[in-house]
Structure 1
Amino acid sequence: MTDRELDEILTTRWPAVMRRVIGDDSDDWMQGFVKSIARHSKRPSWRPSAKQAQLMQRLVADLSAPPEPAMELVER
């Protein structure tokens, strides 16, 4: 992840990721992860590990994906 990509994620997308994860009652680990990234990102020298970067990018991609339409149950 380049410095520019990291900066874009943290300044424009991470607040929305946090709102979604905390608002949708995700598991405690995921809530702790997004809070930890927000806390550590305040340090100028901090960079995510490869594993953290992958998870961050996945969360951002999930946020950008259109919501799945609600399924309609048809009884027979």
Structure 2
Amino acid sequence: MTYTRHTFRQISISELERLLHHMPAVAVHAENEWAQRFAQSIIRQSKRRRWQPSQKQLNVMRSLVSDLFAHGDNSGGDIELIED
């Protein structure tokens, strides 16, 4: 676990990386404009050195990524097998 400025808040580096990995997909596929803008903002902020999300941002990121998968992120497309 990595500790951020506030000792009450913990997030593993791998969880943060996973959430950040999915933010571009959220920015494209989110169901409302607010969520798309939020994801774009997080992407920009994450490029800052030593940036860590606030607890509120972290909760929203978790929720948006969860919603992305709950509603079926088709960004990878369906695989269609072709038989010879």
TM-score normalised per structure 1: 0.69
Residue 42 of structure 1: aligned partner: 47
Residue 72 of structure 1: aligned partner: none
Q: Could you tell me which runs of 5 or more consecutive residues in structure 2 were left unpaired when the two chains were aligned.
A: 1-10, 73-84
| CA RMSD, Structure 1 to Structure 2 (Å) | 1.7
Residue 24 of structure 2: aligned partner: 15
Distance in 2 of aligned mates of 1:53 and 1:8: 12
Consecutive aligned runs of 4 or more in structure 1 exceeding 3 Å deviation: none
TM-score normalised per structure 2: 0.63
Structure with a larger share of its residues in helix: 1
Q: Could you tell me which runs of 5 or more consecutive residues in structure 1 were left unpaired when the two chains were aligned.
A: 68-76
Structure with a larger share of its residues in strand: 2
